[in-house]
């Protein structure tokens, strides 16, 4: 009987392009506390972290209460935009890749994301994709990336060995999380961190359509 394999995906910057929604919500949070807006590059640098960790990086001199206030404003702004019909778009080729991987009999698909469960559920429901994923790990239940907790929980839930697991993401936090958990790491070139930040990846991918072949090759090693 063939060994089971686990393919884990980050969401923002890997599966979907949510940059405009995230930056808009972030700017509203900073305006609400009358704080200078971070630069576009500063905001991109924290993509992949949990919300509380992101505001800790962006507002290191503010109190915990102020940072929590920002988190709540951010979540409200994001939910408000979603209620008005705003939803991130999947990157070109991603849905086709997920469809292909989902047909593989020995593959489990999973998610390991810094998004909240509410935000992720809304996205998956909008595209009717929740049944595609055998394990879903979100920021509500774990320390922020790059802590390996999300991957370890996914491994336990699916009973897959780390040597048969791949983490796919667009940030240095995804790559470092994969390394800490002892699984393969694939960095994608269409996300929010520059390729120079993805040095810990086993492989770098520029086209979504190349993912299935690269995944198979890694899992054979």
Which pLDDT tens digit goes with each residue over 161-212?
999 999 999 999 999 999 999 999 999 999 999 999 999 999 999 999 999 9
Distance CA 204, CA 186 (A): 6
Please give the Cα distance from 193 to 89 (Å, whole number): 18
* Domain edge (last residue) among 60, 83, 106: 83
Contacts of residue 201, Cβ cutoff 8 Å, sequence gap at least 6: 175, 185, 186, 187
Statement to judge: residues 98 and 115 lie in one domain:
yes
Q: 3-state DSSP call for residue 161?
A: coil
- The answer to whether residues 122 and 135 belong to one domain is yes
Planar angle of CA 123, 126, 128, nearest 5 degrees: 100
Tell me what percent of the chain is helix, strand and coil, each rounded to the nearest 5: 50, 15, 35
pLDDT digits (tens, 9 = 90+) for 68-99: 999 999 999 988 888 887 788 999 999 999 99
> What total of structural domains would you count in the chain?
2
CA–CA distance, 179 with 49 (Å, rounded to integer): 16
Residue 65, class by beta-carbon neighbours within 10 Å (0-12 exposed, 13-18 middle, 19+ buried)? exposed
Residue 25 and residue 11 in one domain: no
Q: Are both 114 and 186 inside the same structural domain?
A: yes
β-pair partners for 184: 166
Residues 70 and 168 in one domain: no
Q: How many CA atoms lie within 13 Å of 56's alpha carbon, on the beta-carbon side?
A: 7
CA atoms within 13 A on the CB side of 71: 21
Instruction: Tell me which residue range forms the domain holding 40.
Output: 19-83
How far apart are alpha carbons 201 and 184 in whole angstroms? 8
The per-residue pLDDT for 142 is 96
Same domain, 212 and 128: yes
Residues 67 and 93 in one domain: no
Beta-carbon contacts of 82 under 8 Å, excluding residues fewer than 6 positions away, are 119, 122
Average pLDDT over residues 26-54: 91
Residue indicated by tokens 């929590």:
68
Task: Tell which of 83, 98, 126 closes a domain.
Answer: 83
pTM of this prediction?
Answer: 0.92
- Give the alpha-carbon dihedral of 129, 134, 138, 140, to 10 degrees: 110
Residues in the chain: 221
pLDDT at residue 221 tops 70: no
């Amino acid at each position: 009987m063939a060994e089971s394999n686990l393919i884990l995906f980050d969401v923002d910057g890997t599966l979907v392009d949510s940059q405009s929604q995230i930056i808009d919500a972030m700017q509203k949070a900073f305006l609400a506390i009358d704080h200078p807006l971070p630069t576009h590059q500063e905001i991109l640098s924290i993509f992949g972290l949990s919300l509380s960790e992101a505001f800790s990086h962006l507002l290191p001199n503010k109190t915990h209460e102020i940072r929590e206030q920002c988190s709540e404003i951010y979540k409200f702004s994001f939910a408000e935009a979603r209620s008005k019909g705003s939803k991130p778009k999947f990157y070109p080729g991603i849905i086709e890749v997920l469809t292909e991987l989902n047909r593989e009999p020995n593959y489990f698909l999973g998610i390991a994301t810094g998004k909240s469960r509410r935000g992720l559920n809304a996205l998956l429901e909008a595209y009717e994709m929740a049944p595609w994923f055998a394990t879903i790990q979100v920021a509500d239940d774990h320390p922020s990336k790059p802590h390996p907790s999300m991957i370890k929980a996914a491994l336990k839930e699916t009973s897959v060995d780390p040597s048969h697991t791949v983490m796919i993401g667009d940030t240095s936090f995804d790559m470092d999380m994969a390394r800490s958990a002892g699984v393969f790491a694939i960095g994608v070139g269409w996300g929010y961190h520059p390729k120079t930040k993805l040095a810990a990846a086993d492989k770098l991918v520029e086209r979504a359509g190349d993912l299935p072949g690269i995944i198979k090759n890694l899992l054979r090693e």
